[in-house]
Amino acid sequence: MEAAGAGKRILVLNSGSSSLKYEVFRMPHRESLGRGSVERIGEASGILTQSSPKGTLRREEQFKDHGVAMERIAGALVDPASGILGSMAEIEAVGHRVVHGGERFAASVVIDEKVLAAIEENIELAPLHNPANLTGIREAERLFPGLPQVAVFDTAFHQTMPPAAYLYGLPRELYDKFRIRRYGFHGTSHRYVAARALELLKRDASNTNLITCHLGNGASITAIENGRSIDTSMGFTPLEGLVMGTRSGDIDPAILGFLEERGYTAKELTALVNKKSGLLGLSGISNDLRDLEAAVDRGDERAVEALDVYAHRVRKYIGAYSAELFRVDALVFTGGVGQHGWRMRERICHRLENIGIVMDYERNKMDGSGEGIVSAPYSPTSILVIPTNEELQIALDAYDLVFDGSSRARRRTDNPL
């Protein structure tokens, strides 16, 4: 029998190509017991950092691969001086972030060989992320043999979009042969803040429409009708949609052909729109909002224009999704920019009064350390700032699937594997 109030310890892993982030939660209490990361895996020198109520830990060494990183994480978790756990046996489930589930997954799932095979099949859709996610799962299986593992997909929440939203105006054979369609990303974040917004507003998903804005170095916006994503700005890849830190967002595709005719290679064009555009490309200064705000204060014209373009694109999508939803009960801001950038929120909401989204500009000047409502009391649409917590959402899904028979995650499985 489990001790009263002990809860279940769930390890959440986010495995990247050269990094491994982790956090341990006590569920269902939603309590973070500590977190850490290993950076620069495969390089000559890497760094492991960990923080918990017992203290902080930092180690520099070479982590030649993810297997070594996982072994060092295991040691850090039970470190006598600043560990998170007394024993690795306390971990009862592992939740994994997986970027792309394709059309196979509309909800989080317990991992088995069929699920692993499906994740592998989707590598062609996310060649930079799914292989690293698979590596994290395999290493966790090796370290925790027989322990339940759960996959939480960035794309799953958007699988409720109708064909009108996810199909491109391209020859149908490209969808049939190559699965080219809008998938959307940041789904775990959009789902988390939507649920939190319902809690704060004391509303039920069945009669609530939301627009959620995840604004950071990567940025996306989602229209949520009665708890279901019906449209989102990112598409076949995370490049489509809003202007971002270094990504262009929506552009006329003929621009790429125009540049190709002038000597740009496919590789150079890919780097251009993914790593050299967005706020960085427009301003010529930085992809960091804080740097650009400082430049605006100095009177830098390009910084002003970059931020105006960013706000204009977000506002444009809010207007489009307002038309699609017919009624918007709340507009939610999250992500690094959405949570901390009060001046950007102000830029975005300026001129939205005509569709019933009225900001309280004084209340909006919150420091970003918490959450709250920043709309005027008489605004037909509430405006909320909510810090996202994708790691907690992964822990919630893992707990639901492994330990809770009612399983909120299972209830979202519209097209199970």
Sign of the torsion formed by the C-alpha atoms of 366, 368, 370 and 374: positive
DSSP, collapsed to helix, strand or coil, labels residue 400 as helix
Supply φ then ψ for residue 34, to 5 degrees.
Answer: 155, 165
Tokens of 59: 């180690």
Neighbours of 417 (CB within 10 A): 14
Q: Is 249 left (phi over 0), alpha (psi -120 to 50) or beta?
A: left
Distances (CA, A) of 13 to 96, 108, 331, 392, 394: 5, 14, 30, 11, 9
Sign of the torsion formed by the C-alpha atoms of 197, 133, 184 and 317: positive
Q: How far apart are CA 310 and CA 264, in angstroms?
A: 26
Can 154 be counted among the known catalytic residues?
A: yes
- List, in order, residues 6 or more apart from 296 with CB less than 8 Å away: 303, 304, 307
Tokens of 341: 């950038």
Q: For residue 235, how many C-alpha atoms fall within 13 Å in the half-sphere facing its CB?
A: 17
- Point out the catalytic residue in the list 154, 231, 329, 400: 154
Distances (CA, A) of 345 to 172, 334, 372: 39, 10, 13
Q: How far apart are CA 134 and CA 145, in angstroms?
A: 16
Helices (H), 84-201: 113-121, 130-143, 163-166, 172-178, 187-201
Question: Edge-to-edge strands of the sheet including 228-232?
Answer: 228-232, 219-225, 209-215, 330-334, 382-385, 372-373
- The alpha carbon of residue 316 and the mean position of all alpha carbons in its chain are separated, in whole angstroms, by 21
Distances (CA, A) of 402 to 8, 99, 249, 323: 10, 21, 38, 39
Please check whether residue 187 is in contact with residue 132, taking contact to mean a CB–CB distance below 8 angstroms.
no
Report the catalytic residues.
Answer: 154
